[in-house]
């Protein structure tokens, strides 16, 4: 199954939470303090990388489709809402693929 174009992967977040939990369990059992700290740092890095990827993707989408939708027909505030619903009044499509968003409903 191929992920959607606008979808942000969740595997760094889920893996980071799991690695932090594993490091905390090792710390709880007093197995090896240095090893558990390494696991906690690795999990934190994975979560931060997911957050950076998430904000970068949202920033790209907001600049690609504009900042707000001012179309009086559909009444959406954000272009991503129009794209999810595929409003025929303000999105630009080419062969069943959304290529942009327009604030001019009289195209």
Q: What is the pLDDT of residues 32-89, one digit of tens each?
A: 899 999 999 999 999 999 999 888 887 776 666 566 676 666 777 777 777 777 777 7
d(CA 53, CA 47): 10
Question: For residue 92, what are the CA distances in angstroms to 6, 58, 77, 97?
Answer: 16, 19, 17, 9
Confidence band (pLDDT; 50, 70, 90) for 21?
very high
Average pLDDT of the segment spanning 24-31: 89
Average pLDDT of the segment spanning 91-96: 72
Position 1 pLDDT exceeds 70: no
């Amino acid at each position: 199954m191929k992920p959607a174009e606008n979808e942000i992967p969740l595997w760094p977040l889920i893996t980071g939470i799991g690695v932090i939990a594993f490091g905390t369990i090792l710390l709880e059992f007093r197995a090896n303090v240095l090893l558990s700290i390494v696991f906690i740092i690795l999990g934190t890095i994975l979560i931060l990388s997911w957050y950076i990827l998430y904000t970068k993707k949202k920033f790209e989408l907001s600049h690609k489709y504009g900042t707000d939708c001012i179309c009086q027909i559909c009444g959406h505030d954000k272009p991503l809402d129009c794209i999810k619903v595929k409003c025929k009044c303000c999105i630009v499509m080419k062969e069943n693929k959304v290529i942009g968003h327009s604030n001019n409903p009289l195209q």
